[in-house]
Amino acid sequence: MDRKIPFPMQIFIALAAGIATGLLCHTIGAEAFATLCLKPVGDIFIALLKFVVVPIVLLSMIGGVLSMGDLKTVGAVGLRAAVYFLCTTTVACVIGLSFASLFRAAGFFPALALDTGTSWEPSASPDLLDTLTGIFPSNLWEPLLEADMLQIIVIALLLGSAIMAAGDAGRPCRELAVSAYEVFSRLMGFIIRLSPLGVFAMMAWVVAVQGPQIMGPLAMVLLCAYLAYGLHGALVYGLSVRLLAGLSPVRFFRGAFAAMALAFTSTSSAAALPVSRKCAGELGADAGVCAFVLPLGATIHMDGTAIYQCVAAVFLAACAGVELTLGQMVIIISTTILASVGTAGTPGAGTVMLAMTLTALGIDAEAIMILYGVDRLFDMGRTCLNVTGDIACALCISRRSPHDRAP
């Protein structure tokens, strides 16, 4: 594709071209061509994504822990921010699962008999106690080899904490983790550049095999996600700034609009940070609190992404004809909350998190491609919600702790 075309536009063009090609193949009866010639291209792209998932998750999680610095110096600010993040992300997961379950019960998420060549049946669901005990690894290497995402997250948390506690002696490990993450981030960037080709190939194949009926479910899952985004923003952030910061929700959303708009268009929480600090400051947030909470929130506070994970997981399980048990829903919530700690606030981060969630459920990550072509549309809304939540947190912490100052 022409390099002058913005990358998001490349994705949209590839999506449209894939849909058109798939409809043509379906109309003329060329489904076999799509399966034999187009699907392998998408399979290669998925394989490359799987290749970087484990190192990206491990290294970004370690970096997220190390970025917190000395927790003793941030004191009450860090603790209150962590509590706010945890509470709102948990509520986001509940809202996302609730909306998705309602849409599925209403028949808006139908089963799709995709001929992927792989098994769609999830592994046996353990009970809650087995789930909790099973996230702790018995050795270092097996979780990495088997891509056990819950155990990888625990390993990263332990290693990051140990490196921080080691002080100067842990500096080489810190530098190694940061350097390795930069290398794999660049590698991830190279792979993401292939997204238009992967989107075209997989969307063409999906539409060719399924026909026009596939477009209805995609529209419904987008509607489900955005309804959940809107409810979470209005209910959770609106109420929190009213109750904890004494600020009118209308004034809050008006004051945060510039940062929300930039986040919506750039799909990057990190890119929106300067505007977020400006908006939060104008709304009355303490400058020291903003300097700590907003960068931390861009790294570990991802309510919009949490909603997307839950909606997408339920939708893809429905596509596979799999009924999610209570234990599997607990896995979705726990994976989403823990994974949000180490997922960078950059475009496409939700795809990595979704791969982790599907892997934890025992569903092949190839299912991501059903949604990948419209992931940009999900990403715009979830990033906007993520940034809004960071500003709300900075305001609440500032008003509740007017004398706290971040170092």
Which pair of tokens denotes residue 373? 């072509």
Question: pTM higher than 0.85, yes or no?
Answer: no
**128: number of Cβ within 10 Å:** 11
* The two three-digit tokens of residue 331, written as one number: 């896995």
- Closest-CA residue to 301 (of 132, 68, 135): 68
Residue closest to 188 by CA, chosen among 63, 323, 53: 53
CA distance 352 to 305: 11
In order along its 407 residues, the chain shows pLDDT tens digits of 445 677 667 777 887 888 889 889 888 888 888 888 888 888 887 778 778 777 877 887 677 667 656 655 545 677 888 899 989 999 999 999 999 999 988 887 766 554 444 333 434 444 446 656 777 888 888 888 877 766 777 888 788 878 888 888 888 998 998 899 888 878 877 887 787 888 788 778 877 876 666 666 678 888 999 999 999 999 999 999 999 988 999 999 998 988 888 778 666 676 677 778 888 988 988 877 787 778 777 767 889 988 988 898 888 888 777 778 888 888 888 877 766 654 544 445 566 667 777 777 777 667 777 777 677 678 878 889 999 999 999 999 887 554 444 33
Helices within 34-170 (DSSP H only):
39-66, 71-105, 128-134, 141-146, 149-166
Enumerate domains of the chain plus CATH numbers. 7-400 (1.10.3860)
> Which amino acid does the sequence have at 249?
P
For 69, list phi and psi in degrees, rounded to 5: 70, -150
- Rounded Cα distance, 406 and 392, in Å: 17
Q: How many CA atoms, within 13 angstroms, populate the side-chain half-sphere of residue 41?
A: 18
DSSP single-letter state for residue 365: G
> Which residues are within 8 A (CB) of 237 and not within 5 positions of it... i.e. 6 or more apart?
88, 249, 252, 388, 389, 392
- Crossing angle, helix 257-266 and helix 375-400, to 10 degrees? 150
Long-range CB pairs of 22-31 (<8 Å, 24+ gap) are 22/203, 22/204, 22/205, 22/206, 22/207, 22/208, 23/207, 23/208, 23/211, 23/212, 25/204, 25/207, 25/208, 26/207, 26/208, 26/209, 26/210, 26/211, 26/212, 30/208, 31/208, 31/209
* H-helix segments, 138-170: 141-146, 149-166
Give buried/exposed letters for 90-123 (b at 16+ CB in 10 A, else e): ebbbbbbbebbbebbeeebbeebebebeeebebe
The reported pLDDT for the residue numbered 7 is 65
How many angstroms separate the CA atoms of 40 and 163, rounded? 42
Backbone dihedral angles phi then psi of residue 246, each to the nearest 5 degrees: 65, 30
At 391 the pLDDT is: 94
- C-alpha distances out from residue 40 to 44, 117, 119, 204, 236, Å: 6, 11, 17, 12, 43
Alpha carbons 406 and 391: distance in angstroms, whole number:
16
